[in-house]
């Protein structure tokens, strides 16, 4: 009997949101995504220690920032040996407001992959969806370096990414849900905010409908899920990146799963065309308290984990 994970694969590309190699082997995702938090967790596991040890042995005299990129690529190479598709590797979140530094770091990561025999087509460079990050992606895309824009919480960010012709965006679901639940406090009605009514689901659907109505080729990958109800409500999205726990739940459920997002429906109910430029981006993002707060919070959290990863590498080098 087919399970929900297999049903989902019929109309959505399944992506593993993890640095856990065993999860990928078990659930056979097409692509995989990582972020600083996931790599920090993975590098702390004994079975992955050899990757850090090899990076230190081969490049121990290099600056810590270079060693971090070597480690990210080492994990990416392991992942690409398991999955048939692409891996997303993230530029240091501390560069989220520095366009040129982000470009240079992305070029370095791609160069490391290519030196290892990995074609750039199998790598997505992850950048935060700040104005500066999006402009970095615009340059990188023109050089054939494909980008995955993360920490994306609203349509204005998605519109700017479309103008930059990025390969893929990762609109978040769970963090939007978290914000609205916290803001509502005791007034939160869980039953009234599930499935298609979930505020995070509605945000991704708004972006999906806009992109499909206007034939925008940028791929949409829903991310940051809290429960499989959110995933089921976005069945039909181009891609969904899913954590190990939720992959397990989907694989264990045999309840019917039907497509919810459809390009034809989006075209029949095309939303209003919206202008997108730097002024509109900054103004609309500033007007959206949720998106502004979650973007800033996400950058701070990833940057903090970047600092921790630096410390682990520096300590390992001293041994």
Res. 265 pLDDT band, cuts 50 70 90: very high
Pairing of strands 168-171, 147-152: parallel
For residue 222, give the nearest of 209, 213, 231, 212 by alpha carbon.
Answer: 231
Q: What is the mean pLDDT of residues 27-54?
A: 91
- Average pLDDT rounded to a whole number, residues 46-68: 91
Mean pLDDT of 146-152: 98
Q: What does pTM read for this prediction?
A: 0.96
Using DSSP's 3-state secondary structure scheme, residue 239 falls into: strand
Q: Name the nearest CA neighbour of 258 among 273, 236, 241.
A: 236
Please say whether the beta carbons of 132 and 150 come within 8 A: no
Asked if 233 and 260 touch (Cβ cutoff 8 Å), the reply is yes
Point out the least confidently predicted range of 34-38, 83-87, 204-208, 281-285: 34-38
* Mean pLDDT (whole number) for 131-160: 98
Q: pLDDT confidence of 1, banded at 50, 70, 90?
A: low
pLDDT at res. 202: 98
What is the per-residue pLDDT for 29? 97
User: Look-up: residue for tokens 């370096």?
Assistant: 145
> Quick one: average pLDDT of 249-257?
95
pLDDT mean over 191-216: 97
Helices (H), 164-221: 174-184, 199-213
How confident is the model over 75-123, as pLDDT tens digits?
A: 999 999 999 999 999 999 999 999 999 999 999 999 999 999 999 999 9
Which H helix or E strand runs over 302?
helix 289-318
Q: What mean pLDDT is predicted for residues 283-304?
A: 98
- Give the range among 41-55, 120-134, 212-226 with minimum mean pLDDT: 41-55
- Helices 289-318 and 174-184 cross at an angle (nearest 10°) of 120
Q: Which is it for strands 13-17 and 147-152: parallel, antiparallel or unpaired? A: unpaired
Q: What pLDDT is stored for residue 35 in this prediction?
A: 86
- In which residue are the tokens 């639940």 written? 181
The span from the CA of 130 to the CA of 105, in Å, is 16
pLDDT of residue 318: 83
Under the banding of pLDDT at 50, 70 and 90, the label for residue 319 is: confident
CA-nearest of 309, 314, 267, 240 to 4 is: 240
Predicted pLDDT at 27: 95
Residues 98/128, Cβ–Cβ less than 8 Å: no
pLDDT category, 4, cuts 50, 70, 90? very high
Among residues of the chain, what percentage have pLDDT more than 90?
Answer: 92
27/317: higher pLDDT: 27
d(CA 280, CA 286): 10
Q: In this predicted structure, what is the pLDDT of residue 258?
A: 96
- Per the annotation, the verdict on 294 as an active-site residue is no
> What does the pLDDT look like over 15-40, one tens digit per residue?
999 999 999 999 999 999 988 888 88
- Strands (DSSP E) found in 4-142: 13-17, 31-33, 87-90, 123-128
Q: What is 4-318's CATH number?
A: 3.20.20.70
Choose, from 41, 54, 126, 165, the residue flagged as catalytic: 126
Q: What is the pLDDT of residue 193?
A: 97
Q: How far apart are CA 194 and CA 177, in angstroms?
A: 9
Token pair for 105: 């770091």
| Helix, coil or strand: residue 313 | helix
Q: Note the pLDDT of residue 34.
A: 87
Q: How far is it, in rounded angstroms, from Cα 94 to Cα 307?
A: 9
Distances (CA, A) of 137 to 129, 163, 286: 9, 11, 21
Bigger pLDDT: 317 vs 306:
306
- Strands 123-128 vs 147-152: parallel, antiparallel or unpaired: parallel
pLDDT tens digits for 227-242?
Answer: 999 999 999 999 999 9
Mean pLDDT of the chain: 96
Task: Give the model's pLDDT for residue 82.
Answer: 97
């Amino acid at each position: 009997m087919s399970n929900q994970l297999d049903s989902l694969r019929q109309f959505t590309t399944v992506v593993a949101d993890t640095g856990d190699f065993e999860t990928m082997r078990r659930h056979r995702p097409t692509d995989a995504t990582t972020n600083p938090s996931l790599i920090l967790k993975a590098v702390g596991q004994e079975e992955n220690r050899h990757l850090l040890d090899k990076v230190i042995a081969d490049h121990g005299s290099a600056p810590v920032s270079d060693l971090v990129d070597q480690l990210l690529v080492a994990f990416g190479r392991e992942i690409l040996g398991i999955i048939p598709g692409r891996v997303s590797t993230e530029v240091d979140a501390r560069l989220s407001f520095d366009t040129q530094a982000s470009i240079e770091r992305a070029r370095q990561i791609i160069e490391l992959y290519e030196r290892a025999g990995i074609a750039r087509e199998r790598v997505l460079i992850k950048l935060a969806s700040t104005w500066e990050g999006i402009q970095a992606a615009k340059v990188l895309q023109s050089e054939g370096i494909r980008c995955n824009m993360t920490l994306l919480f609203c349509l204005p960010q998605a519109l700017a990414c479309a103008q930059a012709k990025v390969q893929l965006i990762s609109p978040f679901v769970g963090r939007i849900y978290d914000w609205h639940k916290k803001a509502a406090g005791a007034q939160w009605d869980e039953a009234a905010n599930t499935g298609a009514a979930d505020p995070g689901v509605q945000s991704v659907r708004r972006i999906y409908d806009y992109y499909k109505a206007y034939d925008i080729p940028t791929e949409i990958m829903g991310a940051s899920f809290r429960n499989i109800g959110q995933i089921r409500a976005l069945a039909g999205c181009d891609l969904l990146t899913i954590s190990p726990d939720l992959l397990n739940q989907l694989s264990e459920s045999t309840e019917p799963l039907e497509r919810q997002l459809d390009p034809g429906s989006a075209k029949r109910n095309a939303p209003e065309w919206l202008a997108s430029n730097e002024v509109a981006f900054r103004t609309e993002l500033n007007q959206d308290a949720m998106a502004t707060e979650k973007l800033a919070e996400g950058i701070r959290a990833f940057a903090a984990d970047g600092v921790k990863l630096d410390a682990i590498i520096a300590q390992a080098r001293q041994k």
